[in-house]
Chain A
Amino acid sequence: MSYCLDCIQTSFKTLASRPFLSVLSILTMGVGIGTLMNHFIIYKGVMDPNLPFPNSEEIVTVSFVGDVEQSNKNIPKHLIYYWINNQTSFEALSSFQEGTINVYYQNRAIRYSGGWVHPNLMDMLKAKPFLGETFKPGDDELESPKKVILSYKIWKNDFAADPSIVGKEILVNSESTMVVGVMEEGFHFPFQSDLWVPDTYYPGAMLPYDPKPTSMVAARLKEGVSMVDAGKELDQLKEDFVAAIPKLYQASIPTDSQVNVASFVSMMTDEVTRNIMKLMAAVVILVMFIASANVSNLMLASASTRLKEIAIRNAVGANRTQIITLLLLEGAIIASSGIVPGTIFSLWTIDWVNAQITQQNEIPFWFQFSVTGTSILWGSTIAVITGLVAGILPALKVSKLKMSQILQDDSRTASSLHVNATNRTLVVLQISVSCALLVVAGMMIRQIASYQNKTFTFESDSVLTARLGLFDGKYKSLESKNEFIQTLLRNLRNEELISSAAISTRLQNLYSSFDLGFQLPTEDGTGFKDQEHRSHSDLVTTDYFDVLGVGPIEGRKFPERIVSGPTEDLEVIVTEEFVEKHFPDESPIGKRISIRTIDQSSEIKKIGKTYEIIGIAPDTFVHNDYIDEIDSVGIYLNILKAPPRFITIMVRPAEGLNPYSLVPLLKRSVAEVDKEIPLYFIETPGDSLKQEYAGLQFAAEWFSILSGLALFLSFVGIFGISSFSILQRIQEIGIRKSIGSTSLEIFTLILRQGLAQLLLGLTLGVIAALTLSVALKDLTYNINPFDPIVYLSVILILTVSTLLAAIYPASKAARIMPAEATRVQ
């Protein structure tokens, strides 16, 4: 016991005798530990969060897996209801979808993210209302009175915390709806939804066994039932269902795909997120490795300058084990000293992480991170283990030395200490790890920059776009939607501040709306070729291209108004790229193509309609769900022929005006047509795109921070090792000086040694970076693993910082007085 106390005392003395290096080590260890704690928090929060529902681990999601497209993973509602009525594996099975819900109440129109849910959802989640009640069975029937439940958050913020709100009528998607309840504080589901309405299921109004209305499924497993068994039951029920319906409709259920039951959270974090989390875990471990390498180096340094002390301990009877214990304990003490700064670092940076995350759209409500006892405990445990590991190296070194030799004649030659190689190896590894991390961060940053640069072929920052929804309650018919669109456009065109206005379906004018199958005409123009092509498409009004500022189109524009309903004169405008591909030798204007189904009804059309090509438009780039797939729209259709539920208003301001100055005018213009309709996502396409990359940006920033830390830690490592090597070589430096070496020569001597490590570290680092970035390319984004600019800048950064780190110790060495250094100890 007293021996341990003695050890601890000695460790503190050693730390105190080298205050600068010790403080650096403790701080770097702190940074390492803090990063570790944060990553633990984030990892846990994303991969295995505590959802705010009782027994949340029982909550699962059901989807199709196998060879299906993303959009087909959701389950057709017919099947969901079949499951609900027949399953036995779950306490309850429920469905949900999230989307825009408009509310109009007391002269205010607000758009929310809301949920269309099966009436049993809240009961399934075991979530209690704060006021009123939750939905009742039968609320999903078409004829049932309309009901809505509010979140505590909006009740407080937008309904003035009205205690008698339950029973009041508000307008939800233009329909009078009764508020039946307010959920408890903190309840959101599935992502950020702030209000819920029953998802009406009306088989009578749907085509029989239509696969189209689909939903997502959440369910609560019965105790003792495994996810696999539950999946098997649902699979079997699916087969039964398919067998029971007429052959004609069987194709509506994807028979070749399996039903997959997985934890609810796993479904909400996609593959990319999970891969990034894993990659980052690896990165954090690397950062931790660098931190512990620093501790190891500090200890090697102190051990080698204390060889004599250790030898004397040995001489007076301490055995090898005791000496090793001493050094291991010392490592653990240094590492644990980092726990407090680490926790502070963690507390400080987790706020930043939260701030970053709340900036993003569509982030699940449980993505909020906080420092917990577990995270501190976890970080501390790893820290102590790391410290012990860091102590092993010096302990082994020291225990191998011949103590008698140290005692008798350590002054025979100036370099009797031979602990250099290991230290240098550690520094080389530190440099290479930082190099690899910096390269990855650099690539992600470059990737973001390249997206932001190349996406648009129009002036993305000089157009204002806004979204709105025309819900069936008021805008069910084509005529009513067109009336709204045409009135709004006419009003906007009359405004002096607006130079042109248009409407399209593209969300924020960024994403391709849908794609179409089409057939080209035969040579004689009487029919259509069998081969079907596909093209991205958009629905637009006549001035769309003027608003984008992409110049005049060849041929005709769409007519400004259509007199009544869909007529037979169906027209399309195609893009230059389309022409190049499909009509390379002749003008397509006047030619006809056959296009399959763009109808709002969900009817599956086997036979297309004939459209005439009336114009050619420049290519404008859009991007799709996956940000690396940038594609052009090929076919434009007249929006007035088939106005969709959600539309995007686009206005170009008069010369010299900031697009955002039009926001009040735009809101007013919409309110003048219909005061119940809220406008949302009011942004320029350029800003929308930045939002879109926020996730990537966050990943890149987090990587940058980690690689910055790695760089800093390596800097400290190089600094420490240079300082230490001077301690080791102090006598040699003295000798060199006494026989006439100048300070400059000593300076370069020390610096050169840093350079050798730098070169080796960079070589290894570049190799590691190549491997890592090729892996990263496979895992996540379409980065360029051979980007020379990234490699060159990283090499430059590391070279400069290595030199900087070595300069101070080298100049200190150069100033050593030879008399000091050559004294007999």
Chain B
Amino acid sequence: MDWSQHYPAFIQNCPSVTQSAAEAELPSEALLAESPKRVEIADIGCGFGGLLFALAPLMSSTLILGLEIRTSVTEFVQEKIKALRTQNAGNAFAYQNVSCIRANTMKFLPNFFEKAQLSKIFLCFPDPHFKARKHKARIVSQQLNSEYAYVLRPGGIVYTITDVEDLHDWMVEHFDAHPSFARVSEEGDECVRVMTTETEEGKKVERNGGQKFVALFIRLDDPPWPSD
């Protein structure tokens, strides 16, 4: 996966240190290069990018990735990123730390992120899939929570928000039941404010006078292997 296409200001397209050491003679400076920066924040189902664009300036040296399954919506976000980068080219902050990919995260999350890579995952206003037979298509489930635990580092946080109380209860139940997660308070986390007010969905909910339900979960350490 060539991340330099997404974050050119942060990641140069160069072979990894170990590969170059094995295959080519390189000056010693290359061997001392820092390990390449990696995405740390993922917005799963980023939609039109509201959260991405609001978070980006608050964490300007952290790489943030939006994942969206709809191709046209992804293209919209990618175009907007391009435009913001161009418009802000001379400024201190130029939206270089944010990008968007078209992806089906339910199936391919581990293809994009390595073990314990992320520090934050956002699940904002996921599709509620009201019908009971569609519940298995919900973005939070016992099985998928193991994948979120895999890509999230211990101490990392999952942020969830929805205006559908039933879905909120579902997400809380499933994360609570998963041994790798524990619920934590929303207090004192700047990202909660951003998540609550800055997404398109969030703003629609405000206009309609609906309620928003927030829940945060911390990724716990893996248990030691069982000893017989």
Judge: A and B partners, yes or no.
no
Which residues from chain A sit less than 8 Å from chain B, CB to CB?
none
